[in-house]
Structure 1
Amino acid sequence: MSTRADFDRYLVPTYAPADFVPVLGAGSRVWDQAGREYLDFAGGIAVNALGHCHPALVMALEEQATKIWHVSNVFTNEPALLLAKRLVDATFAERAFFCNSGAEANEAALKLARRVAHDRFGAHKHKILSAFNSFHGRTLFTVNVGGQPKYSDGFGPKPEGIAYFEYNNIESLTQLIDDDTAAVILEPIQGEGGVLPATPEFLQAARELCNKHNALLIFDEVQTGVGRTGKLFAYEHYGVVPDILSSAKSLGGGFPIGAMLTTADLAQHFGVGVHGTTYGGNALACAVAGALLDVVNSPEVLDGVIAKHQHFIKRLELINGQFGVFSAFRGMGLLIGCVLEEKYAGRAKEILDLCSKNGLMILMAGPNVIRFAPSLIISENDIDEGLARFTEALKKFLG
């Protein structure tokens, strides 16, 4: 049997996974090799939108697996066509490009923005503006677009034409944007940057500034999209429509898939051979994503996400009234950040480890924020039981 020690023996050490190895999941519960049960508030980093092994996803995968898996984009396939239509019908978009991850979706979005600017205005219009402390992926381009040097430094010369503004600071963006700007890329809620929502005023200003300077507005909804906030996509909360939107994570419910959504007018700049992917839009991934949308894009699930957010916050405030560990709770829907009080700054990992020992899987969003991103259909009983385990971990944290 494989063990956690095999990770250190055989895998490149880009991660430091937990000591236990999950082997079975059902709904919002996971079991490790020793048969120990955990409640899952991590959701595979906001990926497992319907929890583990949801019957609709299992059925879609099994059914498609007996038909056809992969034909490449030399051909098309029925699940990809159906998924594209469904996403277009449900959003501002008129065209979809499928890939395998959020990084690839953002890479496609940024390449499209630069291609549009190049075709319409010339090579001088190429600047990409991004927020400090943002995160847009791990390719060499996207990791540099993300405004976090801890991820981007140490890989030699950086791509040119990228500049950074302060998130939620209209003046900072106003001073930076100009007629050489090809695109502004924003997370409606900064995920890895601490579960920090944009203000409506900031997103509206970004939209107006992009219009003024003929720049495209890209929303990175890799983490916030597909029901996570209580709308299918977070931009719907703000009434601000982007030119390009990237999606991944929850879109496949655990099966790798990403998507870039845009208008027909912009999509025409990605003609045949301009961009591509071998695996993107494969039949297995698209079949699973289509089944997931059947469940998630419904009033019952989306309204339930908002109700569960309120339940989480109410319970967290009661817990914090007892312990005083957190200074704020922020986020939308079932993307929740618990911000540590200053005196506990930098100690989120300690809480995460104690939660694991108490049978609860959680996340961090930087060293000062505990992040919850559970299944969108998690029951209130599971929320309550998970928060009871969270309470026990906090007791041990305070010693």
Structure 2
Amino acid sequence: MSYLFPTYARLNIEIEKADGSYVYDKEGKRYLDFISGIAVCNLGHRPKKVMEAVKEQLNNVWHVSNLFPIPLQEKVAEKLVNHSMGDAVFFANSGAEANEAAIKLARKYTGKHKIITFYQSFHGRTYATMSATGQKKVQDGFGPLAPTFAYLPYNDVGAVQQLNDEAIAAIMVEVVQGEGGVVPGNIDFLKAIEKKCKKLNALFIIDEVQTGIGRTGKAFAYEHFELNPDIVTLAKGLGSGFPVGAMIGTKKLIAAFSAGSHGSTFGGNPLAMAASLATIEEVFNESFLKDVEEKGDYLKQNLEEVLSEHPSVKQVKGLGLMIGIELIEEVQPVLAQLRKSGLLVLPAGPNVIRLLPPLTVTFEEIDEAIALIQATMNALVSAK
């Protein structure tokens, strides 16, 4: 028996070793990892500079709590601010916590309570972020949700334009819906949200938990659309596997988060900050981000080419190295066969294969993944 709550439908693969773009199970089988810890290991597994930074910090101090100044927090926050629209940062331990902070800040700053999100969104599994998430499968069984959240269809400009409720504190949106099917927002939709927030004196919150830290070929995905959010949340790729989340906000919001208004015992822990600083020093580099953009284009275009006439493939979509292959059927049989072939990928809903390779993936590794996907898809058609 297991001594764990069965909250995860775990794969029957026990990873014993990981390096770069590959992981190895206890039998020694090698897998090309296009999950990356769910968009966490953006520099691949065990990146040398991050490892060295954490080792150095281990020899100094692990934890003191936020009762004391933590100089590494200032260094990481400065880099996040310098590469974003923001002026101040709050550190947490996860994306859900970062989104909790954003929700609380929006309510406190505006004095209003209603938050608008979108169907098929995913913002976390705490009570508030579960309520913000526009997916019933995440909410079912937990009783009444927080009553101040409402949902609109994603990429529906008209639905956004029709909002006229002065009680709205914020509109929260993912630039690319990850868990919801790898669905990129279109620019008219995202600009309509920005405009509506200004009209209603509401805050514009962008959830970059999955898209941030270089995943789409920009430091943050909102940059592709020249948006000006009030708050951006991030987590996954920030710490290269160390638990860390962050909320970035503009100058006008600073006074609303005064001493005692919010907090976290572990948020901004020195070890997580050491990992985060080493990570963003590498990712927030123009040549690195350009390389990610080129790899993303290469992956998407080549997948479109080899799968263009496949009867099960509806479309290939995504942004940067966040790619979805939408099928007309369930993806689980495909995912299972890909694992047997040595490629790890994720679902995004019932019909989308989600590819989240490390940002350091090579073109040769991309070609390897494409060949495995093409061979697997063709074999499944032949078996029918």
Fold match, TM over 0.5?
yes
Pair 240,95 (structure 1): closer, same or farther in 2 beyond 3 Å = same
Alignment of 1:66-105 (within 5 A): 66-105=59-98
Match of 2:11 in 1: 18
Alignment of 1:204 onto 2:187: no
**Residue equivalent to 2:358:** 375
Query: Given the alignment of the two structures, is residue 174 of structure 1 paired with residue 171 of structure 2, yes or no?
Result: no
**Would you say 1:353 and 2:325 are equivalent positions?**
no
Q: CA deviation at 1:177?
A: 4.2
Q: How does 1:212-231 map to 2 (within 5 A)?
A: 212-231=199-218
Q: Please say which of residues 381-390 and 231-240 is displaced more in the overlay.
A: 381-390
Unaligned runs of 5+ in 1: 1-7, 119-124
Change (3 A) 1:177 1:143: farther
Deviations 1:356-375 (A, max 9, x none): 11111001110010000110
| Contact kept? 1:107, 1:142, Cα under 8 Å | yes
* More displaced 10-residue stretch of structure 1: 255-264 or 381-390: 381-390
- Letter in structure 2 aligned against 1:373: L
Partner Cα separation in structure 2 for residue 12 and residue 91 of structure 1: 39
Alignment of 1:98-247 (within 5 A): 98-118=91-111, 125-247=112-234
Among 38, 56, 59, which residue is 2:52 paired with? Answer: 59
Residue 183 of structure 1 aligns with an amino acid whose one-letter code is A
| Contact 1:358–1:392 (CA under 8 A) maintained in structure 2 | no
Among candidates 333, 350, 365, match of residue 348 of structure 2? 365
User: Following TM superposition, by how much is the alpha carbon of 1:321 offset from its aligned partner in structure 2, in angstroms?
Assistant: 3.7
Stretches (4+) displaced over 4 A: none
Distance 1:232 1:108 in 2: 21
Partners of 1:383 and 1:234 lie apart in 2 by: 22
TM-score by length of 1: 0.94
The residue number in structure 2 matching 1:313 is 300
Aligned partners of 1:46 and 1:373 also within 8 Å = yes
Residue 37 (structure 2) aligns with: 44
Deviation at 1:157, TM superposition (A): 2.0
Query: Given that residues 208 and 220 in structure 2 are in contact (C-alpha distance below 8 angstroms), is that contact kept between their aligned partners in structure 1?
Result: yes
TM-superposed CA distance for 1:86, in Å, is 1.0
For the residues of structure 1 that align with 2:301 and 2:202, how far apart are their CA atoms?
Answer: 41
Is the 2:155–2:185 Cα contact (8 Å) retained in structure 1? yes
Correspondence for 1:385? 368
1:111 is matched by which residue type in structure 2? K
One-letter amino acid matched to 2:35: A
- Cα gap change, 1:130 to 1:321, in 2 (>3 Å): closer
The CA RMSD over aligned residues, in Å, is: 1.2
Say which of 276, 282, 293 aligns to 1:289: 276
Structure 2 equivalent of residue 5 of structure 1: none
Q: How many pairs does the alignment contain?
A: 382
Secondary structure of residue in 2 paired with 1:129: strand
Q: Secondary structure at the match of 2:246?
A: strand
Q: Is the 8 A contact 2:36 2:356 kept in 1?
A: yes
Say if 2:315 is the partner of 1:328.
Answer: yes
Summarize the Cα distance change of 1:390–1:32 in structure 2 as closer, same or farther, 3 Å threshold: same
- Once the two structures are superposed, residues 334-380 of structure 1 have per-residue CA deviations (whole angstroms, 9 ceiling, x without a partner) of 0001111x3x2xx1111111111111100111001000011001001
Do the aligned partners of 2:307 and 2:374 also contact (CA within 8 Å) in 1? no
Residue aligning to 2:24:
31
Displacement of 1:318 in angstroms is: 2.9
2:98 partner SS: helix
- SS class of match (1:30): strand
* Aligned partner letter, 1:167: Y
What is the CA–CA distance in structure 1 between the aligned matches of 2:128 and 2:116, rounded to whole Å? 13
Per-residue deviation, 1:322: 5.6
Unaligned segments of structure 2, at least 5 residues: none
Rounded Cα–Cα distance in structure 1 between residues aligned with 2:66 and 2:276: 18
Partner SS for 1:268: helix
The C-alpha deviation readout for 1:16-63, integer Å capped at 9, x for no partner, is 111111111110011000000000111111111001011011111111
Tell me what 2:253 maps to.
266
* Structure 1 position 300, deviation (Å): 1.8
With structure 2 as the length reference, what TM-score do the two structures score?
A: 0.97
Equivalence for 1:300? 287
Give the 3-state SS of the residue equivalent to 2:256 in structure 1: coil
